[in-house]
Structure 1
Amino acid sequence: MTCRQVSLLLFAIAFVDATPPVYWGGKVMVNSIIQPIFIGNYTKKAETVSFYTQLIKSQLMTVMTEYYQIEASGTKTYINIPQTVLPAVDATGATDSSGNLIEAEQGAQIIDSLQKRNALPATTPDTVYVFHFGEDQTTGGLTDCTATVAYHECQLLGDTRYVFSVIKPCAAYHFGNPVGFDAITASASHELFEILTDPFWRVKVGWTGENPGEKGVADLEFENGDVCNGLKTVWRGTDGVMYTAQKIYSVLSGGCVGFEDLGDVNVATVVTRTATSGAGRVVGWCLLVFLSILFS
Structure 2
Amino acid sequence: MSGVFLSAMLAFSSSLFAQYAGQDALASFPADTQQMAYTNLATLRTLPQYPLIEAHLLSPQLRNLETLLRSAGVNPERDVNELVLGWRGDLQDTTRFFGLAEGNFDPNRVHDFFVNNKMLVQRYSGYDLYAFGSGLTRTEMFFTFIDSSTAEFGRLGDLKALIDVRTSSRPLLNSNADFRRWEGDLDGLAPQWGISTGQAAANQAIPWLTQGGKIQVDPSALFGSVKAVLYRMDWGSNIMAHLSIICTNPEAANGFNQLFTLLRSAQPAVSQNISPALSQILQNLNVQVDGSKLNLDASASISDLSQLLNAPPTTEGQK
Tell me: higher relative CO, structure 1 or 2? Use CA pairs within 8 A at least 6 residues apart.
1
Could you state the TM-score of these two structures normalised by the residue count of structure 1?
Answer: 0.27
The structure with the greater share of residues assigned to strand is 2
Could you state the TM-score of these two structures normalised by the residue count of structure 2?
Answer: 0.25
The structure with the greater share of residues assigned to helix is 2
